[in-house]
Structures are given as structure tokens and as C-alpha cells.
Structure 1
Amino acid sequence: MEIYELARSGCLKEEDLKDLDSGKLNYFNTDDQLTPLGVAVFKRNLKAAQLLLKHGYDPNGLRKGRPPLWVACGRRRSQTNIEERLIQLLLSKNADANLRSQVKDDEGSTPLMKAVETRKSTDVLSSLVDHGADQDADVGGSSPRKLAKKQNRLGALNAMLPRSKRIGKRVLEVAKVTGFVLSAVYWANKNLKVAASAAAGTAVVVGAGYVLKDAIKRRFGWTGKVDEGMKKYIKEEVLFSEEKRQLKDEMNIIIEKRSLNKFFPKDNPFLEKVVDRAVNLNRDPSNTLNPKNLTHLALYQPILYCDDSGSMKDNQRKDRLNDLAQRITSITTRVVPDDEAIELRFINEETTGQMSKPTMEEINTIIEKIPFDGWTAIGTNLQTKVLQDYVYKHLDAGTLQRPVLVSIITDGQPNGGPNSKETIETLQQVITECGKKLERKGYKRDVVRFQISQIGDDPEAEKFLNKLHDLDLKDILYITSDRLDDEFKVLHENQEKLEQWLLEILMEPILSAQSS
């Protein structure tokens, strides 16, 4: 009872939890229908909740009365929104997302039902679903999905879909809203008539008037799509050929400048297909990504090298990694031919055939099955699982068809564990040796580019990445400035900005190479 009162009052300290016996761990307050953890959550005391979980208190509240997760989901938002941090904390400790309140007056409601009632963020709703919460669980004839529909919360309905269906659903909603506007913008870009004096030097003659090319695009950055009703005013096939020619010319300039002619000689069929798809994509009203950047990115074979060490199970890093991997796959394959895709590798998990060119659904399955344990031998396994297994194999066989972009996502500094040769310098040494091997084979060393990004808030990982900034690797290694999961959380409810940000992240190592 003493622990319970300390948790209720907010005075609980670490020393209060030493030498706990089963009586204290299993204490349940029959008046409040709460455990010490439950009352800490009710009082919105994050520190006390963390201490109690650390010392063995059940995240499910002994499955009696009101479970802690149910309590957190039922609390209205405070100024600091601590409730949602408590929810994520409990989920990270495997709280049962379907455990109903056992109190009769609560009518058997679920955590997800309470989260919808109290209008929790879409991020929290998705987290609950990802941890098994049932959007159709019956609660007095209603359900979380029915309640969200009654509230007319389309965002909540989308957030409660299975992860693999959320992105496509969001894109469809955006397309419905923006389709007509973008059609008009596209037509205006190509057909906006202006006075000859205003257009002098920048316009091209069309019939008796002048057309200022990309007038709205230049002013606002908007493109658009030719609607069926507009086609009588403009010859679509002429515009398509012109856009394709311009994009291909721009890519050829980049290829020449970066000495990539060995991969993309004149009239290369891969480049032809990519340019075709990019120009077609530019006519899709749901697309918000720059087709030139997508085409430029498509010149590189993407390899996603992920940290699957034990610490990745903390604070939903595994779930964030899963989402990021799927979205990165979607972006990097948006304009490449159907038989091309990403290569997926992990620090600890053995490489399987399924990890070569996986679909988004396959990535979800792969990551869900990985145990996420082991050490962070990031440099040692970059050498064996990425460079030897893919890059050097094709380099030695003369079958390297594209330059390579290796995106590394990690939450900690290198640590290979007992008897490992991994040191803090191993990653640098492996990347440096890769450049030398490329040069011995007649390639520039930046044919393989590396990008490393942090997920999580480990200060040691941050120190490690800061040290890499000082090394003589600027032309081949790019360190992302933002923590991926932090920015991901901020942009999660704005799918268009999220995709644009990810494309910018993926383009940074390529563009930095051009400026170096």
C-alpha cells in the first residue's frame, strides 16, 4: 500500500522500489480498481510509471479492474500531452492492446475505444492497432471504427487500418481532393496566354497568342495533370515527348558530369524506361514528388542496411523502422522498371532470397519475424552482408549495372560483443577500403555512396556519428542531420510532406556528391 500511495502522490523514488516482495508487486487497490502502475498512469506521472515498469510491475495491471493502458487511453489530453507518451511506454512493454476494463460501469470498453472517445492522435491509434488492437471489437453495440465513423474522423479511420493499407488509402483520399485542381494547373502551365510585352524572351508562339511556359509552376511550384476535358485544347503526345526529351537531357548531363557513362551509355534502355515512368507519374494527381529527383535517385541501386540489435525493440524503434523501410522502398521504386527494387540487409539477421527486391508487404513480413536481438557489429557486417554479398560480387563479375546507394539506419554506436573484431573505427575502414577497391577496378570511389542515419536518442550513437563528420569521407559518406524517427513522428499525419522529406533525405548523399 505504501508504494501505491507514493505513486498516487508523485513522490515515488528509485530507492522505494528496492527489495520488492510479491505482495508489493501484486498489490491491487479495490477502491480505485487500480494497481500502483495504474494510479501512476491516472495521475499522468511518467517518471513513476517508468520506475514501476523497470522494477517488475505488470504493464497489464494484473488483469484486474482498470488496466494501465485502458486508463492512459481514457485520459483527456493535457497541455503537455503526457497521456500519449504513457500509451507508447506501455505498448513498448507489451501491454495488451485489447485488454478491456473489468469494472462493470466501464461496459467492457477497450483501450482503442477509449482512445477514439478521447480523440487521441492518429499516431496513437495506429500504434494501438499495430500492437493488436481490434478496431471492430464490440463495445455495447458500437466499436472503435463505428465511433470514429460517427465522429466523421476520416484520419482516425485511416489510422486504424492495418499498416500495409494505410499509405495507399491516404494517397487515394488526397487524389480525390486534388485531382480537379491539379488538372486546371497543368493546363494553365502549358496554355496560359499573356501579353507579348510581358512574355518577351520567355514565351513561345502558339497560334496567334503567347504561352508562358510553366507560369504557375514557376511561381508556386505546382504541376498537375491534363484532364480529359482539356485535351481538345492541347496535344498530349506532343507535351509528353517534350517533357521526356527535357528530362532525358537533364539526366544525361548528370551522367556525364558524374562519369556514370559506363553504366548508362547513349540510349540506355533502363534510362529510357525510367524517364517514361517519371513523365507518366508527373501526370498522376496523387503524386507530390519531384519527377527529376525520382529519376536521379533511380540511377542508383538502393540497399537498405538496418540495425536489428536488441535495443531496437525499445520505444517502438522496430515499428518505426518497419514504416520507414516500406516508405523508402515505395519512393526508390516509384519510377524504376518492375523487375528492379531495393536490396534489404540487416546487421544480425541472415540474408535470405526474400530480402532481394522485396515488395512493401514482404518487407513488413520480414521485419515482423525478425527477433531483434544481438549486437551492433555495423562495420563488420557491412563488409560481409552488403559489400561482399552484393557490391563486390557484381564488381568482380563485371555485372554491376548501376551505382549503389547504401542507406544505413542504426540506433547505437558499433559494438560487436565478446570476441568480435568490431571497433569504433571498423565502419570507417570498411567504407574507405570499398573506395579503394572501386578505384582498382577503374571506377570512381563515389560509385558506391553511403548514408548513415540515427533512429532513437542514444547519446553514444550521436557521438559516434559526429566523429564520422570529421573523417576524409565527405565525397562518399553522408550523415543525416535529423533523427529519422523524430522527424517521422512530426510528419506522420501529413503523408505528402512525409514522402517529400524522405525523398530529400535519400537525395542528400547524391546531391552532396555533385557539389563536392
Structure 2
Amino acid sequence: MATLYDDARSGSLTLDKLNTYLKAAPDKSIIDKPGGSEQLTPLAGACLGGHLDVVRLLLNNPYRNAGPNAPSINDLTPLYYATRESPATDRAAIVRTLLKAGAAVDATSAYDGHNTPLMNAISQTRDRDVVHELVDYGASLTIKNDNGITAQTLAVRYRMTSDVLPREKRNNTLSLIVHHIISIILYIISIVNSGILNSIFDAVKILFGISGKEDAGLKKEIKDGGSVKAFTGNLKDYVKDQGLDKFFPRNEPFFATLAQKAAALRDDPNTGLNTPNNLKRLIFLSLYQPIIYCDDSGSMAGGDRYEHQREIVSRIAHIATKIVPDGSGVLLRFINHSSPDDMFSAEAIDAAVRAVRPSGGTRLGSVLRDRILEPYLYKILASPNKRLERPLLICTITDGCPTNEEANTFKNEIVKCRDRLRESGFENPGKAVMFLISQIGDDADATRFLDDLNSDDKIRDMLYCTSDRLDRMFLQHKNNERSLEVWLLKLLTQPIMEGMSLPE
């Protein structure tokens, strides 16, 4: 028979059920008591499960509101579970809800080594949105945990120093550049949708957050244009004048197409990607060239690993090609099998992955160099007549540690990539090429391999290791396509947004 704890943990608790449980209990304080097999309070269980609607119900209902600081087993508060254990999709919203209800922003427990919620958000989930929420509610950067480490120290270690700044200071030069680019694209959306093609700047509405917020600086920086074509022509001049052409596309149609497709997506009721924040993330992602690097070694044939990888890769390709122009799709590479040089559509990506039968070893670093870095970066850097059309986002999926090559080959290739970029004039290599690596499966050696990469300061500016196993998170979201899309979008954009706070 289900209990209050079961329903809160599973997300099935409703107002009527809550009333029934409270009436049946000898004391309504049951709402703040630990229970169930995990010895969690109902609120902690809802946070652990990622159920935003249940969190809101427990904190605000006509019968008895849950205490935002009521501890579960080991004196762990709901904010602990929200910042460290909650699924990514609604994590920031849950944290915001708890803080608004009065959750103690610096609550700690001896069980967790007296790590604050901010420490966990930085070191465990690396969730920028959650870090921002905690900082904005006054989270301490100087409290020390049992190891004598502060949140400020962790922010340096995990390249999140800009994220722990006060809200008004959370930007830097590149974030301002990206803000301009995204504002430009969202402004074009407003032109496309409004039909206002004359005296454009009489009604400048930079849709940051799709809210109609005017950007006076941008208004002055881009000349008046009488049409979308003229406007995007001026945009090309703006990109060049601002020195953005080293990082972002220089061809006029790219931005206009991005804007038109983003406008259509905004009005699509069948996707979860059409919210203001998700549109901004999607536009940001579209400024990068994704290269999906798949593990097709023999070990991937075990269980459902390869099939899960196929489904994840197919959806990644679908998201990454949502609003980019035709021909600006996704590149696909395998460790052991060849693949065409063309940029793939989402459908072609799925077909290509289906056609492969896993076999061979895991020469992760050597093949990274030979099939990705050499043709798509080094040859371009070596040619005086070529330049990067878009920064690269190289997404690696693997189920094991490298074989048939030196153990540090993958890491060394990232270091060499960074050095080549600096030699070619890229002062911040991590803004030209970013590596994302994720584990599929539960191989302990693979986990140690990723942990070793994640702890290496030499490559921290170019490499992002995901904290969750892809297949486990995929199964969690699989039955909710909207939730799955949003999770993958956040996964893809996290590495390129880390260390770069976009104005809110």
C-alpha cells in the first residue's frame, strides 16, 4: 500500500492524496518526519526524485506546509538532495522554490563532510543555474568543509569562478560577445514575426528571454536596414567589426536562417525546447559545430549499451540540427568504423549508427587525432586561405578506458590541440574547441578514466566530463520526449557555457 513517502518520492502525490494522508495520521507533523525505505521526509523525497510540482505542493497547500529545512536521515536537508541528487531537468527550479520558502542556504551535515549546498552544486552536479540561485540567495564562499576547502576554492578548481560572482558581475568579454550574437538573432526573429521592415529601430525589441527587452547599445551599433536581407548584411559587418569572425559564422544566411527556424520553433507546441531559456541554449549550441565521436568497440555489444548510444546520438543530432541551415549539420565519427565526410542530418546519423556492428578496441586518443582533429582543425589552421567556420564541440561517448594505445593518449591529444590553437593565435583555446566526454555503462575502469581526466588541471579549460551515466539518465527520461530533449540540450550546452555567464 502506497504511503505519503512513496507518493512524494515517485511524484504521484496530489492535493487530495496529501489531505487523505494527513487526516489518517495521528499528527500532521508527519509531513516533516523521515520515513519510507530511504528515511526521507516527503519534501526530500520529492527533491531527490526531481518532482517540482510535488515540491511546490508540499511547501504550499491548505492543510500543512512542509518545513523547508526539516532533516531526513543523517541530518540531510531537502536542499542537500536538490543540489546534489536531483535530476537536471527541474533542479534549478526546485532549488529556487526551496530558497524562496526559506531553506537555509548554507545548511551542512557531518554525514556529507559539512559541504554546503553551493559546494555540492559546484563539485557534484556542476549546475551553473543552481550555483547562480544559491549565490543570489547569499550562499557563503568562505565556509570551510571538513577538508578545509571553501566554495571559492572549488569554483576555481571547476572553472566556475565567474558563476560565483554577484549577479551584476556575472559576465566577461566573451559572454558579452555571445549576448550580442544571441540578441541579434532573437532580434531578427522579432523582425521575421512582426513584418516590420521599415524604420526597424523605431521599435527595437531585443527578445532576450523573448520578452521584448530593448538593447540600446545594439540599437546604436547596427545601422538601420530596410529588410531582413539588408539587416543581415549589416550584421555581417557588425560581426567582422567586433572581431567575432574568428569564432562565429561569417556568411549572411546563417544568422537569418537561424532566426527564422528559431521563430518557428518558438511557436511549436510539440516541443519542450521552445521556452525562452531553451531557445537561448539552442541558439548558443547552433553557433558550434558538433562532432559526435562514438565508441563502437567490441565491449559496446554487451547488453543494451550500443542501442542506448544509438538512441541518444540520434536525439542529439535531432536537437543540434533544429535551427541550423541545411548543410550545417552534425559530423559523426567512430573509433573503428569509417563514416562519410558529409555533415549529417539527424535521420542520416541514426541510419549510420544502426549500420555499425560493434567490434575492435578502444583507441580513443589516436582516432581522435586522426579522424577528427587532423581533418577538421589542424588542416584548417595550417592553411592561410581557410578559417574555422564555427567553433568545434567534440562529444565523445565511451563505455571503457582506452585500449591498444598508451593510457594517456586521449589526454595528451587534448593538450596538443590546446597548444596548436595557441600557436595559431587563439588566446583562449577552450572557446575554439571544447571536448565533452560521457560514460555509457557501469565499467569501473571507464569511471576511473573519466575521473582522471576531470581532475587534470592541464585540460580543465577544454574538457567537460559529465557527472551522470548517459544510459541511466536516458532511461530516466525516455518515456517523456520533452523532458529528454531538454536534458540533452542542457547536456550539450553545459560545456560551452561553463565559465561563460550569459546575461539573464
Q: TM-score, normalised by structure 1?
A: 0.49
Contact 2:289–2:390 (Cα < 8 Å) also in 1: yes
Q: CA deviation at 1:261?
A: 3.8
Question: Relative to 1, partners in 2 of residues 1:268 and 1:351: Cα closer, same or farther, differing over 3 Å?
Answer: same
Q: CA deviation at 1:265?
A: 7.5
Q: CA deviation at 1:514?
A: 1.6
Question: Relative to 1, partners in 2 of residues 1:448 and 1:333: Cα closer, same or farther, differing over 3 Å?
Answer: same
CA distance in 1, matches of 2:249, 2:346: 31
Query: Per the alignment, in what secondary structure is the counterpart of residue 358 of structure 2?
Result: coil
Aligned partner of 2:449 in structure 1 is: 464
Deviations 1:136-174 (A, max 9, x none): xxxxxxxxxxxxxxxxxxxxxxxxxxxxxxxxxxxxxxx
Query: Per the alignment, in what secondary structure is the counterpart of residue 434 of structure 1?
Result: helix
Indicate which of 334, 340, 363 corresponds to 1:377: 363
CA distance in 1, matches of 2:258, 2:476: 32
Q: What percentage of aligned pairs have identical amino acids?
A: 37
CA distance in 2, matches of 1:423, 1:515: 37
Task: Give unpaired runs (5+ residues) of structure 2.
Answer: 1-5, 7-188, 220-234
Indicate which of 340, 344, 360 corresponds to 1:358: 344
Q: CA deviation at 1:363?
A: 2.2
Matched, 1:430 2:405: no
Aligned partner of 2:490 in structure 1 is: 504
Contact 2:321–2:345 (Cα < 8 Å) also in 1: no
Contact 1:301–1:405 (Cα < 8 Å) also in 2: yes
Query: Per the alignment, in what secondary structure is the counterpart of residue 468 of structure 2?
Result: coil
Which structure exhibits the higher relative contact order, with contacts defined as CA atoms closer than 8 Å and separated by 6 or more residues? 2
Counterparts of residues 85-96 of structure 1 (less than 5 Å) = none
Contact 1:475–1:512 (Cα < 8 Å) also in 2: no
CA distance in 1, matches of 2:501, 2:437: 19
**What residue identity is the alignment partner of 1:371?**
R
Aligned partner of 1:313 in structure 2 is: 301
Indicate which of 276, 281, 285 corresponds to 2:265: 281
Aligned partner of 1:442 in structure 2 is: 425
Q: CA deviation at 1:413?
A: 0.4
CA distance in 2, matches of 1:433, 1:287: 40
CA distance in 2, matches of 1:243, 1:375: 54
Deviations 1:394-439 (A, max 9, x none): 33232321100000000000111xxxxx122111110011011111
CA distance in 1, matches of 2:373, 2:206: 34
Query: Per the alignment, in what secondary structure is the counterpart of residue 412 of structure 2?
Result: helix
Query: Per the alignment, in what secondary structure is the counterpart of residue 333 of structure 2?
Result: strand
**What residue identity is the alignment partner of 1:237?**
G
CA distance in 1, matches of 2:205, 2:468: 34
Question: Relative to 1, partners in 2 of residues 1:503 and 1:371: Cα closer, same or farther, differing over 3 Å?
Answer: same
Matched, 1:264 2:252: no
CA distance in 1, matches of 2:353, 2:316: 14
Q: CA deviation at 1:451?
A: 0.4
Counterparts of residues 384-399 of structure 1 (less than 5 Å) = 384-397=370-383, 398-399=386-387
Question: Relative to 1, partners in 2 of residues 1:415 and 1:259: Cα closer, same or farther, differing over 3 Å?
Answer: farther
Question: Relative to 1, partners in 2 of residues 1:326 and 1:309: Cα closer, same or farther, differing over 3 Å?
Answer: same
Question: Relative to 1, partners in 2 of residues 1:359 and 1:441: Cα closer, same or farther, differing over 3 Å?
Answer: same
Aligned residues: 275
Indicate which of 292, 302, 308 corresponds to 2:290: 302
CA distance in 2, matches of 1:459, 1:302: 28
Which has the larger displacement, 436-445 or 494-503?
Answer: 436-445
Query: Per the alignment, in what secondary structure is the counterpart of residue 315 of structure 1?
Result: coil
Aligned partner of 2:392 in structure 1 is: 404
CA distance in 1, matches of 2:247, 2:194: 32
Question: Relative to 1, partners in 2 of residues 1:279 and 1:380: Cα closer, same or farther, differing over 3 Å?
Answer: same
Q: CA deviation at 1:287?
A: 2.8
Q: TM-score, normalised by structure 2?
A: 0.50
CA distance in 2, matches of 1:266, 1:459: 45
Q: CA deviation at 1:263?
A: 3.5
Question: Relative to 1, partners in 2 of residues 1:283 and 1:457: Cα closer, same or farther, differing over 3 Å?
Answer: same
Matched, 1:329 2:317: yes
Question: Relative to 1, partners in 2 of residues 1:266 and 1:313: Cα closer, same or farther, differing over 3 Å?
Answer: closer
Query: Per the alignment, in what secondary structure is the counterpart of residue 195 of structure 2?
Result: helix
Contact 2:248–2:391 (Cα < 8 Å) also in 1: no
Contact 1:264–1:271 (Cα < 8 Å) also in 2: no
CA distance in 1, matches of 2:331, 2:205: 30
CA distance in 2, matches of 1:265, 1:461: 36
Q: CA deviation at 1:339?
A: 1.9
**What residue identity is the alignment partner of 2:271?**
N
Q: CA deviation at 1:391?
A: 1.8
Question: Relative to 1, partners in 2 of residues 1:460 and 1:260: Cα closer, same or farther, differing over 3 Å?
Answer: farther
Question: Relative to 1, partners in 2 of residues 1:423 and 1:265: Cα closer, same or farther, differing over 3 Å?
Answer: closer
Which has the larger displacement, 360-369 or 436-445?
Answer: 360-369
RMSD after superposition: 3.2
